Structure 1
Amino acid sequence: MSQPSRPLEQLWATLTQSSKTLGKQDLALLQEALTHTSSGLNPHHEQLEFLGDAVLRLTASEFIASAYPRMPVGERSSLRAQLVSDRWLAELGSKIEIEHWWQIGPKASGDSTAAVTIRAELSEALIGAVYRIHGLTAVHQWLTPHWQSSAEAVLSDPHRGNCKSALQEWSQGEGLGLPTYTSKEMSQLHGDPRRFRCSVNLPPHLAAEGWGRSRRDAEQQAARAALDQLADIGADTSRSAPH
């Protein structure tokens, strides 16, 4: 079983820059959040993960309202979906090097694909623990810098992270109908980034492929590949046009 290699006080200081002295109950909450069910230990992360999910959505909504007060509600919902996604949580876990504090089972510790899912789950549980220890302010203090960089990346993406919608809008605008997606499960490993393969076709000539941990993710990656093809075609056309 993977054992913590760094003290929990160091993690708390890294997350919140808070001078709060952690008591036994606080440390117990952090340890609970970082104890995965695969370890076979109790208490484990699941209850705090459930709480963390609600806290994450609330604080992300507050961040968006503060940072982008004039953003329409529909765009806020789309941005929030990116800022609370499993992929975002897994990246958060990587940034704080959560593996230095987690406790996971030996089978999970040897599975690189499972590690992505575990990072997301424990990061969400950690959000629940931080909220229990020091409230919403501490959660904002931890997550806001990460949200700022992530939001800027999402908003600079012309497709806003939803490549399927972007491809559909383009195809309908061109009078080509709807793209056709065909997905196939390629492995049984939970969290495998190549678990599903998806191909997208749009007559007469557009075809692309994508991979993902879920069918939805694979479809988005296939749509992104198709949009990249269209961008390349447009660039080639521009270069070959007479000046």
Structure 2
Amino acid sequence: MDSTRTNKLLELLQTIGLQELNSSKLLSLVDEALIHVSAGRSKNFERLEFLGDAVLRLAATEFIDQQYPNLPVGRCSSLRAQLVSDRWLAQLGEQLQLESFLVLGPKALGDAAAQATLQADATEALIGAIYSGSGNNLEPIHHWLTPHWQQTTADVLARPHLFNGKTMLQEWSQAEGLGLPNYTTTEQSSRHGDPERFKSRVEVGSRLSANGFGRSRKEAEQNAATEAVQRLQDVGSEINSESPNNTPH
């Protein structure tokens, strides 16, 4: 690794507040975490992304357990889903401007639609690199991610329908005696990472329908449900918007 690359990675560690972890092993892993498979290098971020996925879930679980010890398990799971989501990872990667650190091959460089996916994958790999490079220690992960999780949790509390639309819509439809919402999801394009790759239409009997788009079927359905819940709230329908409201410890 040349000095220019080393200095850039040191700047990245400083940005996330972990400059004191500077070591040759850590820098090597951080470098690996930012090399996409399309670059054709002998090492890339795939294994660190795999590790980072598990580390992220464990660290998020610890955060919720420590901050919200009285939160019911079901709601803990719903909150964790937001704290480890691809959307959340992509947003964090964008804040860090990880695209400026990524080593990409020509194919990935030309795929603008996949940028959010690249950001999410690289962020997850970076988490794996920091965990491994610090001696399998979760403390640096908590130091880095806790402020971001606190902000996300505050957003979830303030606007739960934006994060948990499917659950809220299902609870409303069952309370109204309308059964379960029906989702019809189709693939609109074959481009990986296209934000409108999938289109989903949700219908609740004959009373409500809405559309949503997403990079995955799951995201499209969630966005359709969120739009449906927003329509209900716009017309003044009563819908349970309860969210985790325990005071953090």
Q: If the length of structure 1 is used for normalisation, what is the TM-score? A: 0.89
| Aligned match of 1:141 | 143
Which segments of 5 or more consecutive residues in structure 2 lack a partner in the other structure? Answer: 238-249
> In 2, are the aligned partners of 1:4 and 1:102 still within 8 Å (CA)?
no
CA displacement at 1:5 relative to structure 2? 10
Distance in 1 between the 2:83 and 2:8 partners? 28
Write the deviation string for residues 102-148 of structure 1: whole angstroms up to 9, x where unpaired.
Answer: 10112212222111111111110100111112221111111111111
Match of 1:193 in 2: 195
Q: Name 1:34's counterpart in structure 2.
A: 34
Quote the Cα distance in structure 2 between the aligned partners of 1:234 and 1:20. 52
Among candidates 167, 174, 180, match of residue 178 of structure 1: 180
What's the CA shift for 1:4? 6.2
Aligned runs of 1:101-140 on 2, under 5 Å? 101-134=101-134, 135-140=137-142
CA contact (8 A) 1:16 1:138 kept: no
SS in 1 for 2:20: coil
Matched, 1:227 2:229: yes
The Cα of 1:21 is off from its aligned counterpart by 3.4
Q: Deviations over 1:8-34 (max 9, x none)?
A: 1111111234324322x2221111000
2: distance between equivalents of 1:75 and 1:36? 35
Matches within 5 A, 1:46-125: 46-125=46-125
- What's the C-alpha RMSD, in Å, of the aligned pairs? 1.9
C-alpha distance in 2 between matches for 1:74 and 1:84: 16
Cα distance in structure 2, aligned partners of 1:178 and 1:74:
19
1:167, distance to aligned residue in structure 2 (A): 1.0
Counterpart AA for 2:13: W
Q: Is the 8 A contact 1:5 1:100 kept in 2?
A: no
SS of aligned partner of 1:159: helix
- Which moved further from structure 2: 169-178 or 140-149? 169-178
Q: What is the number of residues matched between the two proteins? A: 232
2:152 is the counterpart of 1:150: yes
> Once the two structures are superposed, what CA deviation does each residue of 1:130-181 show, in whole Å capped at 9, x if it has no partner?
1112221111111111111011111222337221221121112112222221
| Greater shift in the superposed pair: 202-211 or 87-96 | 202-211
Report SS of the residue matched to 1:234.
coil
Q: 1:194 to 1:225 in 2, by over 3 A?
A: same
- The residue aligned with 1:11 is 12
Question: Quick one: which amino acid aligns to residue 193 of structure 1?
Answer: P
Work out the CA distance in 2 between the residues paired with 1:79 and 1:154.
8
The higher radius of gyration belongs to 1
8 A Cα contact 1:35 1:103, kept in partner: yes
Q: Please name the residue that 1:208 is paired with.
A: 210
User: Does the CA-based 8 Å contact 2:116-2:193 persist in structure 1?
Assistant: yes
CA distance in 1, matches of 2:233, 2:22: 54
Q: Give the match for residue 240 of structure 1.
A: none
% identical aligned pairs: 51
3-state SS of 1:184 partner: strand
Q: Contact 2:6/2:27 (CA < 8 Å) preserved in 1?
A: no
- String of CA shifts for 1:38-63, please: whole Å, max 9, x gaps: 11112100111111111111111111
Where does structure 1 lack aligned partners over 5 or more consecutive residues? 236-243
Cα separation, 1, equivalents of 2:144 and 2:180:
42
